[in-house]
Chains A and B, each alone.
Chain A
Amino acid sequence: MTERVVVDLDHLTRRFGSFTAVDQISLEVYEGEIFGFLGANGAGKTTAIRMLCGLLLPTSGGGHVAGFDVLTQSEQIKKSIGYMSQKFSLYVDLSARQNLEFYGAAYNLDRRTLADQIAALTQRLSLGEFIDRPAGSLPVGWRQRLALAAALLHKPRILFLDEPTGGVDPVFRRTFWGLLYQLAEEGVTIFVTTHYMDEAEYCNRISIMHAGRIIEMGRPFDLVRDHGAANLEDMFINLIRAQETTGATH
């Protein structure tokens, strides 16, 4: 792992009316790292990831993704990242191949590169059997692989995955993470949100979000040790409970 910073955030904040969804988060992510974003539902993970992908403008603070400013250079950011949302968001009435062709065009890939990429990803993600079936008819796990393929077409430097393995069986999750490791080996930085603790353990580093703020960040093993917890799940629950009690006494 090199020490090149590919994502840095400086007090990034997003408010919706009087509600602060993301509250002054600051962090750095290094090239080739798998960075986990943990937190309960509603902690602000999705809002944060949307700001990093150029889908949402921050209310205050700022940051850089792949060297580009999140406030002003979302067009350049979009060319360097791949994004997979929580919910399957490809076109269910189009075949897997048509979806990939469409996204290839969206990323301005030329015909040749697109054909090569589709062939390579189909093989790598074992999508061959499903490639000409409507995306909506694929089993959940295969849909997620297809979504991953769509996000990888243009060989992005950074991959943002928002709860990529929701509703998928453990075997599928294991192979999915195998793929993520391979990608990280190839130098792709992976920014992933999850609330599965076993997945969090696969990450190089994790940050734990609560009520819009990052309350803890570090290597999973170090965090467990420092908090004197039995495992990551215990540490996470204790941390959230502690936050909620201090929040309640205010």
Chain B
Amino acid sequence: MQRIKFIARKELYHILRDPRSLMIVFAMPVMMTFLYGYAINMDIEHVTLAVVDQDKTADSRDLVSRFYNSGYFDRPAVAPDLSDIEQLFRSGRAAAVLIVRPGFGSALTRHEKFDLGLVIDGADASLGAAVQAYTTALVNQYQIDKLPIGTHPPGVFISRQVLYNPDLKSSHFFVPGLLGVILMTISALLTSITIAREKETGTLEQLLTTPVTAREILIGKLLPYVVIAFLDGALIVTFATLMFDVPFVGSHLLLVLFGFIYVATALSLGILISSVTKTQQVAMMLAQTTTLLPAVMLSGFIFAIRNMPVPLQAISYIVPARYFVRIIRGIMLKGASIEVLAAQAAALVGLMVLFMFLAARKFSTRIG
């Protein structure tokens, strides 16, 4: 126990003695969050929307102005020729056309069914889907605002309902997952070089002539980084919620708890890498390749795991990010409780034990 404490303390000295590296440790994840957060943005804004208002009532004008004031839609630069919508799309002068047929205003006051027409340029499928969703949301909101409280909206327009992310902002969906990916990469990188560095400088040889055991070295090296990686995590979660306006509806305490488990798992992977590599260079490369790509592709961060080929789904079970992406989304977006997420956390603990066990087996207290 005392030896683990001293190894941890020594490791902490190394970290604190090198303020420049420490700065990188904190600046890098913030930079990554910033860059990826903006780069991976599937939101559409400023879609050119042409409007055919045949109703010409105060209500229809109000509806149309809400579309243009939403920030998602722009008026066409020149008044379009609405007789030929195909030509409009082909020339790129508009991406969608909203048609308000006569009778909209009166249907609204009489609480009657009414169909709005929406023509979408489907060439960009994701853009089309987004326009459809935004339109539905805008029209629903319009009705809720217009009708007296307690009245049931006619229901014609409610073609779909979007849960948890009513704005359909992709940042809400991506940013929490992104935090999982970044934490994974950074954490594994932190520990991957710790043992490899001591192999390179020769200090490990000296250490191995003492009665210190492999387990003591591995755990002692892991501990200080749990604190560092956790602070990193807290920093980027705070940064991301402020920067990208991501909601945080769940329990902060729960995220703290699961965050600790997650970084410890990621750091264990780094320790495993460090115990099988001889140089820092190789260790860093291995840490990058074993964390970044799987965390992005196989965690459900962007692509749904259930839609993947079975072998990839099987591999995803040993990707820690898979569990944490669900945890962090669950907590930040849905306010999920500990019971719901316990299985994910248990899987993380299992992986951590596995990584440390393998590291202890691979790490020899002999050299050569």
Contact B3 A108 (CB under 8 A): yes
Given contacts A54-B366, A94-B17, A101-B6, contact A106 B211 (CB under 8 A): yes
Contact of A55 among B6, B10, B205, B212 (CB under 8 A): B205
Contact B6 A91 (CB under 8 A): no
Give the bracket for the number of chain A residues in contact with chain B.
20 to 34
Which of A89, A101, A106 lies at the interface centre, i.e. has the most chain B CB atoms within 10 A of its CB?
A106
Contact of B208 among A16, A55, A98 (CB under 8 A): A55
Contact A102 B18 (CB under 8 A): no
Contact A89 B6 (CB under 8 A): no
Contact A105 B2 (CB under 8 A): yes
Chain A neighbourhood of B202, CB < 8 A: 85, 87-89
Chain B neighbourhood of A216, CB < 8 A: none
Chain A neighbourhood of B203, CB < 8 A: 89-91
**Closest chain A residue, CB of each to CB of B6:** A105
Which stretch (A27-35, A74-82, A167-175, A186-194) binds chain B?
A: A74-82
In the docked arrangement, what's the CA distance between A83 and B202, Å?
Answer: 13
Number of interface residues of B (CB under 8 A): 26
In the docked arrangement, what's the CA distance between A16 and B367, Å?
Answer: 12
In the docked arrangement, what's the CA distance between A125 and B14, Å?
Answer: 26
Chain A neighbourhood of B212, CB < 8 A: 106
In the docked arrangement, what's the CA distance between A108 and B212, Å?
Answer: 9
In the docked arrangement, what's the CA distance between A50 and B18, Å?
Answer: 32
Say yes or no for B65: interface residue by CB 8 A criterion.
Answer: no
Q: How many A-B residue pairs have CB under 8 A?
A: 78
Say yes or no for B28: interface residue by CB 8 A criterion.
Answer: no
In the docked arrangement, what's the CA distance between A237 and B261, Å?
Answer: 63
Contact A85 B210 (CB under 8 A): no
Q: Which residues of B188-226 have CB atoms within 8 Å of chain A's CB atoms?
A: 201-203, 205-212
Chain A neighbourhood of B150, CB < 8 A: none
Say yes or no for B13: interface residue by CB 8 A criterion.
Answer: yes
Say yes or no for B309: interface residue by CB 8 A criterion.
Answer: no
In the docked arrangement, what's the CA distance between A82 and B208, Å?
Answer: 11
Contact A103 B210 (CB under 8 A): yes
Contact A85 B3 (CB under 8 A): no
In the docked arrangement, what's the CA distance between A98 and B6, Å?
Answer: 10
**Closest chain B residue, CB of each to CB of A134:** B17
Contact B10 A94 (CB under 8 A): yes
Q: How far is the CB of A78 from chain B (nearest CB, A)?
A: 5
Contact B366 A55 (CB under 8 A): yes
Contact A78 B10 (CB under 8 A): no
Say yes or no for A56: interface residue by CB 8 A criterion.
Answer: yes
**Closest chain A residue, CB of each to CB of B203:** A89
Q: Which B residues are closer than 8 A to A by beta carbons?
A: 2-3, 5-7, 9-10, 13-14, 17-18, 201-203, 205-212, 365-368
Query: 15 interchain pairs (CB within 8 A)?
Result: A55-B208, A55-B209, A75-B211, A82-B209, A87-B202, A89-B202, A89-B205, A90-B206, A92-B201, A93-B14, A102-B7, A102-B10, A103-B210, A105-B3, A106-B210
